[in-house]
């Protein structure tokens, strides 16, 4: 007689979106698609030395925040693009606030509560960039529990309307795409221009750009079509001569990106006549705003294409430096204020060391990963204390969350 799988009660949601419960042997078990308060019988339990992973075998009693996800792919295809769509909006916000608070308490060793979280006005239809995989005729996403398998996506509910229209047109022209594990990025730029970027393996040749462009035109869609082989440069193969540089990083949720940037700039306080570092500056929007407010700005960005775009967009006031932050800051004049917005990996230790030596009075740190934010705050703790922390629901339906930490010199 086979052993009956254990029943557990989900007590919280971990970073990444998995539910957290305890097995009868005392091990913590992580369960995808679980909700706080769920009573579930688990299956496919993978035991490790100190923890376990499992799937929901049977939902015995739903938690109070569980809701029916509106996207059919979320359930039927176990889509890996979203992690929290089975939770109500209010519970999603509380979960993300707790993820931030837990990271600061556990990693930065701070005695803080969960932060205020600013909700998004658009819980769906917000992404201006999505990435599909083309695999055996399927243009889709990867399954959450079987990453090697791609399912065909009919519609992505978190993509904005223009991306969804471009996706619909592309589905009807997929015969022109590479059929073997190519990535296909759809992007809408700030001027509402459409872009299709096809990324292939090194050595693969792709000649489908022109017919793909014509097929999209036949559907009433104008788009710049790009091709980038692995290890090579992205180049336009149809639809434009000098298009907006779609390879440069920009926020995929522009409205919330603007909200976070405004909050970060306000957190610095008055900047007229003040020396400011804008680190990981992207296309320089914050640098431009700081300069407009009267600051003397040194802006650092590793992507030379983003620096060129910043220079073309203007104004000419900020001194823009192309290079790694950890290399560039040693050459900059000392700042009084610092704005930093690193990638998900956070700041290199050489960068945090340089910031400690620079001696700025205040740091506004924008982060898309609470764990690396907590690590960097810990590295800076000898010279800085946390003055405030806010979270922003920049990526609804997912377990990702944006944070703004303000650090004050001790």
CATH code, domain with 336: 3.40.50.150
**Average pLDDT over all residues of the chain:** 93
Q: Do both 111 and 134 map to the same domain?
A: no
Domain count, the chain: 3
Segment 358-379 mean pLDDT: 97
Q: Judge whether 356 and 383 are in contact, CB under 8 Å.
A: yes
Give a yes or no: residue 2 inside a domain: yes
Q: Which long-range contacts (C-beta less than 8 Å, at least 24 apart) are formed by 317-323?
A: 317/288, 317/291, 317/292, 318/278, 318/284, 318/287, 318/288, 318/290, 318/291, 320/281, 320/284, 320/287
* Residue 372 within a domain: yes
Is residue 301 within 8 A of residue 284, CB to CB? The reply is yes
Q: What per-residue confidence (pLDDT) applies to 298?
A: 96
Q: What is the pLDDT of residue 243?
A: 60
Q: Please check whether residues 150 and 265 belong to one and the same domain.
A: no
pLDDT tens for 142-178 read 998 777 889 999 999 999 999 999 999 999 999 999 9
| Coarse DSSP helix, strand, coil percentages of the chain, rounded to the nearest 5 percent | 25, 30, 45
Q: Which residue among 238, 271, 286 closes a domain?
A: 238
pLDDT, average across residues 127-137: 93
- CA separation for the pair 340, 375 (Å, rounded): 15
Give the tens place of pLDDT for each residue, 275-297. Answer: 999 999 999 999 999 999 999 99
Q: Is residue 77 part of a domain?
A: no
Lowest mean pLDDT among 101-105, 201-205, 262-266: 201-205
pLDDT bin (cut points 50, 70, 90) of residue 246 is low
pLDDT number for residue 1: 35
**Comparing 168 with 314, which gets the higher pLDDT?**
168
pLDDT band, very low/low/confident/very high, at 231 (cuts 50, 70, 90): confident
DSSP label of 180: E
Q: Which domain holds residue 33?
A: 1-66
């Amino acid at each position: 007689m086979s052993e009956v799988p254990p029943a557990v009660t989900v007590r919280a949601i971990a970073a990444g979106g998995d539910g957290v419960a305890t097995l009868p042997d005392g091990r913590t078990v992580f369960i995808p698609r679980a909700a706080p308060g769920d009573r579930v019988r688990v299956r496919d339990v993978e035991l490790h030395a100190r923890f376990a992973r499992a799937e929901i075998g049977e939902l015995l009693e739903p938690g109070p925040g569980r809701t029916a996800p509106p996207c059919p792919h979320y359930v039927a295809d176990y889509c890996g693009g979203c992690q929290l769509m089975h939770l109500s909006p209010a519970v999603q916000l509380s979960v993300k606030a707790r993820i931030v608070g837990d990271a600061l308490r556990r990693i930065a060793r701070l005695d803080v509560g969960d932060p205020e979280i600013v909700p998004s006005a658009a819980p769906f239809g917000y992404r201006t960039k999505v990435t599909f995989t083309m695999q055996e005729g399927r243009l889709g996403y990867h399954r959450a529990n079987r990453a090697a398998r791609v399912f065909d996506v009919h519609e992505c509910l978190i993509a904005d309307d223009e991306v969804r229209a471009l996706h619909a047109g592309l589905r009807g022209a997929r015969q022109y795409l590479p059929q073997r594990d190519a990535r296909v990025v759809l992007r809408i730029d700030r001027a509402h221009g459409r872009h299709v970027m096809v990324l292939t393996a090194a050595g693969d040749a792709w000649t489908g750009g022109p017919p793909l462009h014509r097929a999209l035109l036949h559907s009433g869609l104008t788009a710049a079509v790009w091709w980038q082989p692995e290890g090579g440069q992205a180049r336009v193969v149809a639809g434009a001569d000098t298009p907006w540089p779609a390879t440069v990083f920009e926020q995929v949720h522009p409205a919330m990106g603007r909200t976070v940037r405004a909050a970060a700039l306000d957190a610095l306080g008055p900047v007229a006549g003040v020396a400011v570092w804008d680190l990981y500056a992207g296309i320089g929007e914050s640098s431009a705003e700081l300069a407009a407010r009267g600051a003397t700005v040194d802006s650092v960005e590793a992507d030379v294409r983003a620096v060129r775009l910043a220079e073309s967009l203007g104004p000419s006031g900020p001194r823009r430096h192309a290079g790694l932050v950890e290399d560039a800051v040693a050459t900059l004049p000392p700042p009084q204020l610092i704005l930093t917005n690193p990638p998900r990996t956070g700041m290199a230790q050489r960068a945090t060391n340089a910031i400690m030596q620079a001696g700025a009075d205040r740091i506004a740190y924008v982060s898309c990963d609470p764990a690396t934010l907590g690590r960097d705050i810990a590295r800076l703790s000898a010279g800085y204390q946390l003055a405030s922390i806010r979270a922003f629901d920049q990526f609804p339906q997912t377990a990702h969350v944006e944070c703004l930490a303000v650090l004050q010199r001790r």
